[in-house]
Structure 1
Amino acid sequence: MHLERLTLILEIVGQKGRASVADICAQSDIPKPTAYRLVQDLVLSGLLESPTRGEFAIGIRLKRITLSDHSDPALLQVIAPVLSGAANDYGAAFFLSRLRGHWVEIIHVETPQTGVSFLHPGMGKRPMHACSCAKAIAAVSPELLSQDRLDGQLKRYTDRTITDPKDLAAELDVIRAKGYAVCVEELERGISSVATTLTKTGVGATLSIGATASLRVFTPSKREKIGHTLTTMSHELARALGWGEADKERIPA
């Protein structure tokens, strides 16, 4: 439990770039006094540092160990321009989501600059069972929806929300077969979204890219087209981020 909590804190801080103890508690189930004590231990060990009062960042010792930067700002330098281009091409909002502790969170949205109307998905946490960005991540990491985590968690948002664990397991099978997830009015009436992870394993499996629009815009054929587009985008982004070789079989024939 102790090591798991330390690891979770490092993941949260590493993803956000900088995080306060309040941020860490919001993305985990760690009590504030415990989180504060663990953060101080990590600072003393050089795994975290405090560049400004009340905020913590990955320390130089951990940077030397990993020799990589998977923080939100670093990833967005590569991912945001690609999402922006897709938003203009399709006239819809495209977004980046990330597994953050025990939640999937939309962390960045690009909207079309072409004068067309669009729906903004909003930022923040999404339920693991009722949003394409979260279901895509859960499909490649099914332990995120283990039975003990599911108990009492399958909240119904609309009459199309999946609330039966067996139905959810079947849905994840479909997502793995197709390579992308679809949400049709499961979280909100009239709204549809499509998403896929950047890779099937590693850091890329905790990141998903997606698009959202009304059902009028995202017809079944359009959702399928967007799904294949996102799959191709994920492959290209994974390669640009140096993850492509491990996931070269990602795109279905």
Structure 2
Amino acid sequence: MHLERLALILEVVGQKGHATVAEICAQSNLPKPTAYRLVQDLVSSGLLQSSARGEFAIGARLKRITRSDHSDPALLEVIAPALAKAAEEHGAAFFLSRLRGNWVEIIHVATPKTGVSYLHPGVGKRPMHACSCAKAIAALSPELLSHDELNGQLKRYTEHTITSGEDLAKELDVIRAKGYAECVEELERGISSVATTLGKTGIGSTLSIGATASVRVFTPPMRVKIGQALTEMSHELSSALGWDGADAKMKSA
């Protein structure tokens, strides 16, 4: 339990780049006194370092161990321009999501600047069973969803929301076969989205890129087109990030 808490804190700080104890508590559900004590232990060992305004960042010792940077800012340096380009080309909002502990969170949204009408998905936590960005990640890590525990307890947002663990398992099979996930009025009426991960395993499997629009705009043929475009983007981004192609690519069937 102690080691798991330390790992969770490092994960939160590593993803956000910088985090306060309050932010760590919000992401990890740890009590503030516990989080503060563990953060101080990590600082003492060189795994974290204190910075301005009471924030903490990954320490030099851990950087030497990992020799990598998967923080939000580092990833966005590569991914944000590609999302902005796609938003312009398709006239829709494109977004980046990542797994945070046991849930998926939209962390960046790019919108078209061409004056076309678009829907903004917002940022923040998304339900694992009712949003394309979360389902794409869950399809590659089904252990995130315990069907025995969730069956009959999946929250219904609309009449199209999947509320059965068995139906959700079937949906994840479909996503793995297609290489991308769709959400059609499952979270909100009139809204649809498409998303795919940046890899099948490793860090890529915990990140997804997607696009959202009204069901009038994202018709079934258009969702196929967007799904294919996202898959191509995921390949390009994985290569740009220096990830092994065999590990990073999520190919369509």
Sort the TM-score into its range (normalised by shorter chain). Answer: over 0.9
- 1:155-194 matches, within 5 Å, as 155-194=155-194
Q: After superposition, what is the alpha-carbon deviation per residue over 1:9-30, rounded to whole angstroms, capped at 9, x for unaligned?
A: 1111000000112211212232
Give the Å deviation of 1:40: 1.1
Give the Å deviation of 1:53: 3.7
Q: After superposition, what is the alpha-carbon deviation per residue over 1:128-176, rounded to whole angstroms, capped at 9, x for unaligned?
A: 1100000111111111112466377511111111111111111111101
Whole-Å separation in 2 of the counterparts to 1:149 and 1:53: 41
Distance 1:151 1:25, change over 3 A: farther
- 1:101-116 matches, within 5 Å, as 101-116=101-116
Whole-Å separation in 1 of the counterparts to 2:173 and 2:232: 20
Q: After superposition, what is the alpha-carbon deviation per residue over 1:180-229, rounded to whole angstroms, capped at 9, x for unaligned?
A: 00000110000000000000111111110000000000000000110111
Residue pair 1:49, 1:58 contacting (<8 A) in 2 also: yes
Which AA in structure 1 matches 2:35?
A: A
- 1:230-249 matches, within 5 Å, as 230-247=230-247
Residue pair 2:43, 2:49 contacting (<8 A) in 1 also: yes
TM-align CA RMSD: 1.5
Whole-Å separation in 1 of the counterparts to 2:236 and 2:128: 26
SS in 2 for 1:122: coil
- 1:220-235 matches, within 5 Å, as 220-235=220-235
Q: 1:13: which partner in 2?
A: 13
Which AA in structure 2 matches 1:186?
A: E
Residue pair 2:151, 2:163 contacting (<8 A) in 1 also: no
Give the Å deviation of 1:90: 0.3
Which AA in structure 2 matches 1:47?
A: L
Q: Structure 1 regions of 5+ residues with no counterpart?
A: none
Whole-Å separation in 2 of the counterparts to 1:151 and 1:164: 5
Give the Å deviation of 1:98: 0.8
SS in 2 for 1:27: helix
Which AA in structure 2 matches 1:62?
A: L
Residue pair 2:198, 2:249 contacting (<8 A) in 1 also: no
Give the Å deviation of 1:101: 1.6
Decide which moves more: 80-89 or 46-55: 46-55
Alignment size in residue pairs: 253
Identical residues among aligned pairs (%): 78
Q: Structure 2 regions of 5+ residues with no counterpart?
A: none
Whole-Å separation in 1 of the counterparts to 2:152 and 2:27: 19
TM-score, normalised relative to structure 1: 0.96
Residue pair 2:197, 2:250 contacting (<8 A) in 1 also: no
Give the Å deviation of 1:47: 0.3
Residue pair 1:27, 1:103 contacting (<8 A) in 2 also: no
Q: 2:199: which partner in 1?
A: 199
Whole-Å separation in 2 of the counterparts to 1:72 and 1:189: 30
Q: 2:82: which partner in 1?
A: 82
TM-score, normalised relative to structure 2: 0.96
Give the Å deviation of 1:252: 3.0
Residue pair 1:236, 1:244 contacting (<8 A) in 2 also: no
